[in-house]
Structures are given as C-alpha cells and as structure tokens.
C-alpha cells in the first residue's frame, strides 16, 4: 500500500517557514507538486517536479495513478480558500497547514481576527459585495489583479462606505513585506504589490436600515402619493417571497427599486436582478441602490425583454407587467427554481382575476392577501386615518407533483 500524499502549506519566506520534519519529507519524496512560486523554493530537488497549472482535474487523474512518494506544496493554509478542500475529496491525503495570509496580516495589524468577516475576491466577481460587508466592523479581503486594493477602494467609495479605513499587507511573510494603513481615497490611488491582503476596519458608525425602510428615504418620482411600493405593503410582500440569505431574486417592474433593495439586504449572499422600463424610475433605482448599499443588477427594459440575461430565480416579485403578463408569467413559471415563489401585487379586481386564472393554467396554486392599510394623520389638534390604496398580494407556488 502506497503512502498517503502529503499536502504541506508553505509561506512566502519559503523553506524557512517549514518545520525540519516537513523539509525532511520533501527531501525524501520522489515527486514534488506545487505552483511555480512554491517549486522555486527547491531548486536542487532531485525528483520529478509537477507544476500546478489552471485546472486541477488532470493533476488529480495523474496523481491517482502515482505509486511514488508525493508531496504537494500549497500557499499558507491549503484549507483556507486553497486547493486542500478539492484535493481531499479526490485523493487520499494528509494536510499540514502553515499560517494563512489572513492570520499573518492580522498579526502585523496587531488585532484579533476571530470577529472578522472574511471574503475572497480572488478570481471572483465583486458584484454583490456591498451588501455582504455592510455594517461589518472588520472585513478581511483576499484580492487579485482585477479586484485590486485600488478597485476595492473605488467600489466602496461609490457605495458611500467611507466609514472604513484600510490596512494593506503586501507580500506578507516574504522578504519584501510591506504593511500600511490608508484611507479609502489614498488606497484608490496608491501602488501595491500583486500579492496583498486588504483589511477594512470601521472607524465611524454605519447607517442602519432595518426591514421596512421609510418611503421618504427613496429617491422617487413624486405624484400625489409617490410611485413606489409603500412600506407596509413592501414588508408583507418581502415576507411572502420567503427569502433566504442565498436566494436569487427577480424584481419585474422595479420602479424605484424598493422591493429589490429590501430583498438584497436579506439575500445578501444571493443575487437580485431588477428590470424597469421607465428611464426616470430606472435612474432613481440606481441612486437608491448606491444609497442603501445594495449592489444589484438593474436593466432598463420592458419585460420580458432582458429576463433571458438573468439566472433562474428562487423568488420573483411582479410589480408591473405593462400589458405583457401572459408572456412574463410563462417565463417566470417555467424558470422558477424548485420550492420557489412568485408574488404579484394587483390593484384592480380585473388584474387579480386575470392573475389567478393565469397561475391556475400553469399548474400553480395561489394564496391571496388583501391589504387595506391606513396611516394616522394629524388634523388640527386631533388625529384621523388616511387610507392607502387596497392591494391584492398574490403568492403563487407550484402544486405538489407539478
């Protein structure tokens, strides 16, 4: 029976980061696997060297057939955004971690890190990052050349997240290590080594918005009563959508974006996609997404145009169809993920009836809430109630077995 493959973490200082036992194993092995940077630490290695390139599948297939002693080198802690998790599911390996770059960065910062929110933008899109980190006291970020400290700073500034200052650790653990504090404006302009960690620390209080943001907080067109889903109706609608932290949400006819924004603050690890045909409402929606720190995808188009760009949803809110309800429902009902919900708000009895028939024809069952809301309003030294328009909130889901 061949020995288990050993996966050893190594720091930027190279061999100096290894325990003597680990270096002994490396010297005695017959095959050394790792990134080019890790392999370069062992120029006199006498066995075979296998550099890790893009894609691990072919490497795994090769190592599954290997009968010689194999050591795999990885940066830092292989189980911290590294190759350890993937390889341990495919190969019989033993893992020997080194300090992660995050651990070292916090050590240089002289701060505890068990309370930090840790995120990787390495090889990932920054889309949705604002709502993930909003109001977090400490945020540690793994970067890459696209999501560099400069771009991260510009992104945060665009979402008015200037209560943070940044600690940047470059080449941490290596001979050219450099660590420094910066404001976001300074970080947006400075030069950095390609290998770096960004830690954000809150120095001022963040604005706080709980579920049911006040109507007046939204940028909106203002006829007599404002073109947005009112707070009380919004809360009931969000509840009906049954959102999780990782939900994918569609908001069709988003207008000022109030539902999409509230949804994104709940589904902060998911994604929200909104569509709006009116140019002025679309622009107000963009203003609101920045104010409320919700990085969502907003398309200026008349649904169903544009829906083909969106991934399949777990929840759909339909606030307006502009006469295209049949085609929109065809797409929403067909693409809705298992256990998903569609919520449609209707103002008229005719639209309520048409929606119920349309859902029934597509094999969906419905529940209806008639929301009749009145708000108190002063009149001289007395108080009366001012009624909002009644709203039918229709919640649709697939029948069991459909």
Q: Are residues 301 and 259 in the same domain?
A: yes
Q: Are residues 172 and 72 in the same domain?
A: no
Residue 24 within a domain: yes
Among 156, 180, 202, give the residue marking a domain's end: 202
DSSP reduced 3-state for 84: helix
- State mean pLDDT over 79-105: 93
pLDDT band with cut points at 50, 70 and 90 for residue 53: confident
Mean of pLDDT over the chain: 93
Q: Are residues 154 and 26 in the same domain?
A: no
Among 148, 178, 202, give the residue marking a domain's end: 202
Task: Find tokens 């017959």 and name the residue.
Answer: 30
Residue 277 within a domain: yes
**Alpha-helical segments (H) within 299-348:** 325-335
For residue 140, the domain's CATH number is 3.30.950.10
Q: Distances in Å between the alpha carbon of 286 and those of 37, 296, 384?
A: 43, 9, 36
Tens digits of per-residue pLDDT, 266-307?
A: 999 999 999 999 999 999 999 999 999 999 999 999 999 999
Over 90: is that where the pLDDT of 246 sits?
A: yes
Q: Are residues 92 and 112 in the same domain?
A: no
Over 90: is that where the pLDDT of 55 sits?
A: no
- State mean pLDDT over 233-247: 97
Q: Are residues 129 and 198 in the same domain?
A: yes
Q: Are residues 246 and 351 in the same domain?
A: yes
Q: Which residues pair with 258 in a beta bridge?
A: none
What's the pTM value of the predicted model, to 2 decimals? 0.89
DSSP reduced 3-state for 156: helix
Supply φ then ψ for residue 335, to 5 degrees: -95, -5
Residue 346 within a domain: yes
Task: Find tokens 């069709």 and name the residue.
Answer: 252
Among 202, 225, 255, give the residue marking a domain's end: 202
> 82: closest CA among 117, 120, 126?
120
31-34 sheet: strands from edge to edge: 48-51, 31-34, 70-75, 5-10, 93-96
Q: Is the dihedral of CA 73, 77, 79, 82 positive or negative?
A: negative
Q: Are residues 243 and 332 in the same domain?
A: yes
The Cα–Cα gap between 287 and 289 comes to 6
Residue 209 within a domain: no
Q: Which residues pair with 197 in a beta bridge?
A: 142, 169
Supply φ then ψ for residue 11, to 5 degrees: -90, 175
Question: Which of these ranges, 61-65, 200-204, 224-228, 257-261, has the smallest mean pLDDT?
Answer: 224-228
Q: Distances in Å between the alpha carbon of 7 and those of 34, 61, 65, 90?
A: 10, 16, 17, 13
Domain that holds residue 47: 5-99
For residue 65, the domain's CATH number is 3.40.1010.10
Token pair, residue 223, equals 């006829």
Q: How many CB atoms lie within 10 A of CB 393?
A: 18
Q: Are residues 80 and 112 in the same domain?
A: no
Domain count, the chain: 3
Supply φ then ψ for residue 14, to 5 degrees: 75, -135
DSSP reduced 3-state for 386: strand
The Cα–Cα gap between 381 and 55 comes to 73
Residue 368 within a domain: yes
The segment with the largest mean pLDDT, out of 42-56, 236-250, 388-402, is: 236-250
Q: Are residues 55 and 108 in the same domain?
A: no
pLDDT band with cut points at 50, 70 and 90 for residue 1: very low
Q: Are residues 58 and 135 in the same domain?
A: no
Q: Are residues 382 and 286 in the same domain?
A: yes
Residue 297 within a domain: yes
Residue 279 within a domain: yes
Task: Find tokens 């709980």 and name the residue.
Answer: 210
Residue 210 within a domain: no
Q: Are residues 227 and 340 in the same domain?
A: yes
Over 60: is that where the pLDDT of 120 sits?
A: yes
For residue 255, the domain's CATH number is 3.40.50.150
């Amino acid at each position: 029976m061949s020995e288990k493959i050993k996966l050893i973490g190594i720091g930027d200082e190279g061999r100096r980061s290894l325990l003597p036992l680990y270096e002994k194993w490396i010297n005695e092995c017959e095959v050394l696997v790792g990134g080019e940077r890790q392999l370069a630490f062992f120029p006199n290695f006498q066995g075979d060297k296998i550099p890790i390139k893009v894609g691990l599948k072919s490497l795994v297939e090769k190592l599954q057939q290997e009968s010689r002693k194999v050591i795999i080198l990885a940066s830092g802690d292989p189980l911290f955004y590294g190759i350890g998790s993937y390889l341990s599911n495919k190969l019989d390996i033993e893992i020997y971690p080194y300090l992660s770059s995050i651990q070292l960065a916090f050590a240089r910062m002289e701060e505890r890190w068990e309370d930090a929110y840790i995120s990787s933008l390495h090889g990932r899109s920054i889309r949705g990052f604002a709502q993930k980190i909003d109001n977090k006291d400490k945020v540690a970020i793994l970067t890459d050349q696209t999501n560099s400290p400069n771009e991260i700073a510009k992104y945060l500034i665009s979402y008015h997240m200037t209560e943070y200052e940044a600690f940047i650790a470059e080449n941490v653990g290596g001979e050219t290590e450099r660590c420094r504090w910066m404001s976001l404006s300074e970080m947006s302009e400075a030069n950095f080594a390609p290998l770096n960690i960004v830690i954000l620390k809150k120095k001022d209080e963040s604005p706080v918005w709980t579920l049911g943001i006040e109507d007046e907080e939204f940028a909106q067109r203002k006829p007599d009563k404002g073109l947005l889903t009112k707070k009380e109706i919004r809360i009931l609608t969000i509840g009906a959508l049954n959102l999780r932290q990782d939900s994918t949400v569609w908001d069709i006819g988003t207008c000022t974006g109030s539902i999409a924004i509230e949804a994104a603050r709940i589904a902060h690890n998911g994604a929200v996609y909104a569509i709006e045909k009116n140019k002025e409402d679309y622009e107000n929606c963009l203003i609101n997404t920045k104010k409320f720190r919700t990085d969502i995808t907003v398309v200026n188009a008349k649904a169903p145009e544009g829906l083909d760009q969106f991934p399949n949803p777990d929840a759909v809110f339909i606030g307006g169809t502009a006469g295209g309800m049949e085609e929109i429902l065809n797409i929403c009902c067909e693409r809705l993920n298992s256990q998903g919900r569609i919520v449609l708000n209707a103002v008229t009895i005719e639209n309520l009836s048409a929606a119920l028939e349309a859902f029934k024809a597509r094999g969906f069952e419905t529940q209806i809430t008639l929301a009749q809301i009145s708000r108190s309003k002063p009149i001289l030294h007395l108080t009366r109630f001012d009624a909002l328009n009644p709203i039918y909130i229709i919640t649709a889901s697939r029948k069991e077995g459909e």
